[in-house]
C-alpha cells in the first residue's frame, strides 16, 4: 500500500514539475512530451494524484501520523524530483520496475 502511495505522489509531483516554465525539462519520453504540451490537464492530474496519496496515507495511518507522514513524503518527493529530473535520469520504465519490485517486497514481507 505504501509503495502505491509513494508512487502516486511521485507521479503527481513529476507531472506538476513538467508544467514548469522555469525548470530544465526533458522532452525525451512520450509522457513528458504529453505533460508539457497539455499543462492544464497535467496540473489537474498532478494535483489529483497528490491529493489521493495524502488521503490514502491519512486513511491508512490516521490524521496525526498520516498527515505528518504525507507532509514528509511531499517534501522528500519534491526534493528528489527537483534534484534528479534535470539530469534526465528519471524514465518511466525505471520507475515502473522499481515500483513493481518494491510492491512485491511489500506484499511478501508484510
In DSSP notation, the chain reads -HHHHHHHHHHHHHHHHTT-SSS-----SHHHHHHHH-HHHHHHHHHHHHHHHHHHHHHHH-HHHHHHHHHHHHHHHHHHHHHHGGGT---HHHHHHHHHHHHHHHHHH-
pLDDT at 90 over 90: no
For the chain, which residues make up each domain, given as ranges?
2-20+27-109
Q: Considering the entire predicted model, what is its pTM?
A: 0.86
pLDDT of residue 89: 76
Mean pLDDT of 83-107: 84
**Please, what is the average pLDDT of the chain?**
89
Amino acid at each position: 500500500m505504501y509503495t502505491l502511495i509513494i508512487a502516486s505522489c511521485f507521479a503527481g509531483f513529476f507531472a506538476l514539475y513538467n508544467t514548469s516554465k522555469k525548470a530544465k525539462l526533458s522532452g525525451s519520453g512520450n509522457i513528458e512530451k504529453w505533460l508539457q504540451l497539455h499543462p492544464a490537464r497535467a496540473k489537474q492530474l498532478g494535483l489529483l494524484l497528490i491529493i489521493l496519496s495524502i488521503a490514502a496515507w491519512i486513511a491508512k495511518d490516521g490524521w496525526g501520523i498520516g498527515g505528518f507522514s504525507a507532509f514528509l513524503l511531499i517534501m522528500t518527493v519534491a526534493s528528489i524530483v527537483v534534484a534528479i529530473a534535470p539530469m534526465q535520469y528519471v524514465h518511466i520504465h525505471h520507475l515502473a520496475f522499481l515500483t513493481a519490485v518494491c510492491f512485491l517486497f511489500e506484499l511478501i514481507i508484510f
